[in-house]
A and B are shown apart, each in its own frame.
Chain A
Amino acid sequence: MKILVTIKRVEDYESKIKVKPDNTWIVTDGVNYRANPFDEIAVEEALRLRDANMPSEVIAVSAGPAAAATEIRSALAMGADKGILIKHDGWLDSDAVARLLQTLIEREKPDLVLMGKQAVDVDDNVTGQLLADYLGYGQATFASKKESLESAEEKAKKPGIKLAADKKSAQVAREVDGGLEVLEVQLPAIVTVDLRLNVPRYASLPNIMKAKKKPVEELTPAALGVDVTPKVKVLKVEPPPARAAGIKVPDVATLVNKLHSEAKVI
């Protein structure tokens, strides 16, 4: 099986996000970067599926600045086999990313594409779905795991996505409002993953060393023949509305009184 997984370089969610004074973007100096956490779950799932279906390979793809090679290396250190970086500085809207991936997928022809459900920078949650439609593929978004009778040990290793014996389809449990939906999707397909699918592994030191020798191909939008003119432009970035300074209350009775008569929420 050939599995393509996407990994985006994003601001670390433990970093403090501040808006630039000129309202064009956020302050990036001094901010730590890391792989999008949902994408790490996608990488973990890809590795579990590969290991359960040998021979298989996992290709980690990122679109972004040259520095995104770091996040590709982190996927390779987790165990992915090779990387592809589509280098582009500046704004890429989700639609442009979807069209870049479409072209790459038409070239690579993977059996399955795994992606985080959203990147925690722009929080769009649309790229996988756009990509599925551009390719004419089926999709299963927000992949989760159906709790079953498997042991904790099995749970820690087994993929949550169940491939059919003929590898022509897969069963995916989806975390949707109000419950868990199970779909069967024909392969190739786009699956976007949610938080509960698995817990991504840490890269071991030997694997980090090994990752340095794995191949990473560099491409550009021009090399793929994709026009990345955005359909969505960011005009202005502002801080969220400031919260009025709060107060400390001395006891529960005061708190209840405030909530009841001042805030009128209970």
Chain B
Amino acid sequence: MATVLVIAEQAKGVLKKASFNALGAGQDLAKRLGGAQVHALVIGQGVGDAAKQLAESANAVHVADGAAFANPLAETHAAAAIAAAKAISATHIVIVASTYGKDMAPRVAARLGAGIASDVLSFTGEGNVHFKRAMWAGNAVATVEVTTAIKVVTIRGTEFPAGAKGLNGSVAALAADGGAPKTKFLEFNEVKSARPELTEARVVVSGGRGTKGDFKPIEQLADVLGAAVGASRAVCDAGWQPNDLQVGQTGKVVAPQLYIAAGSSGAIQHLAGMKGSKTIVAVNKDPEAPIFQVADYGLVDDLFKALPQLSEAAAKLK
């Protein structure tokens, strides 16, 4: 009998939004497996409330709560996940492909002799379920089969709906310790920004070489739209913006509802990082720029003229 284990992610006892999408993915998978049970696991310190919240969308919730799990170390958290998976004989383990999930999920797979499909976009088939995932930065979508009895799947949170509520599963403490990790947590420097995180933002405004390094119009529009700011590789390589804003195959791959590319030519490496966006807007002086081939709406104009107008008009809509 198939059993799905969804590993939630939390920070300071508060569930990350994508954890609910992981529950949605777990429920989808369970249905395809002929009505498997969906268990959830939350690991941390002071995660009782998070566990109660998970219970609404799971048949049972396991809680690894204690000082050993206070920091999200891959080794300790994987140890708890392995203990839970063994306790319930989980056949499928689902976790969001965040940096937390990517860090620990392979360790869980290694220990359980499981294959791992990472950054999965959707499931296909029933019974023997296969996984669709992006390769070559989204330039191809592969359908993969995990041939092992136990399968570990990391999912792209934005591709799955939040889990249905009303399951009201029971909550129980999990007997697990963190083992003897070979890593020690020293500190976490949170990036405090008024803007949303690039990979989680609903709207992204990005600038390319056409900005000549002046990101004021980009930032102004981003603030009006509540958007994250991104940049092309050319901009980061020139040192105009930090590398962590880089959208592209070697930077961050984003898929927001709205992506506005200003002054970007549309290099393959940049397109690979944003092609999955729902609506793409391109603003560029050059009507021949390849970015217009992927844009839903293209505006041939100087970004220094068009973006302030766009900011003004968008502000009026609010």
Contacts and interface: CB of A to CB of B under 8 A. Distances in A.
Interface stretch (B21-29, B61-69, B104-112): B104-112
Identify the interface centre among A16, A231, A266: most chain B CB within 10 Å of its CB.
A266
Contacts of A259: 258, 279, 281, 297
A243 B275 contact: yes
Closest 5 CB pairs of A and B: A231-B115, A138-B182, A129-B106, A133-B110, A17-B139
Nearest to B115: A231
B168 interface: no
A185 B306 CA distance: 50
A95 interface: yes
A252 interface: yes
B204 to A, nearest CB: 11
Interface in B257-289: 257-258, 267-269, 272, 275-276, 278-281, 287
A237 B142 contact: yes
Contact of A263 (B117, B269, B296, B306): B296
A252 B309 contact: yes
A263 B134 contact: no
Interface string B101-132: 01111110111001111110000000000100
Contacts of B119: 123, 125
Interface of B: 11, 73-75, 78, 97-100, 102-107, 109-111, 114-119, 130, 134-148, 181-191, 197, 199-200, 203, 225, 242-244, 246, 249-251, 257-258, 267-269, 272, 275-276, 278-281, 287, 292-301, 306, 309-310, 313-314, 317
A240 B298 contact: no
Given A186-B182, A246-B296, A240 B134 contact: yes
19 contacts: A13-B272, A14-B268, A17-B136, A17-B139, A17-B140, A95-B116, A121-B136, A125-B97, A142-B103, A177-B99, A180-B189, A182-B188, A195-B244, A195-B246, A232-B146, A239-B141, A252-B310, A255-B297, A259-B297
Interface residues of A, number: 81
A196 B141 contact: no
A252 B314 CA distance: 10
Interface in A1-59: 11, 13-17, 19, 26, 37-38
A230 interface: yes
A176 interface: yes
Given A129-B103, A129-B106, A246-B280, A139 B299 contact: no
Nearest to A17: B139
A93 to B, nearest CB: 8
A174 B73 CA distance: 12
Interface in A212-266: 230-241, 243-244, 246-249, 251-253, 255-256, 258-260, 263, 265-266
A171 B115 contact: no
A124 interface: yes
Contact of B297 (A231, A235, A238, A249): A249
A66 interface: no
Nearest to A116: B250
B102 A125 contact: yes
A176 B244 CA distance: 11
A180 B243 CA distance: 14
- Greatest chain A CB density within 10 A among B134, B186, B276 is at B186
B292 A235 contact: no
A236 B298 contact: no
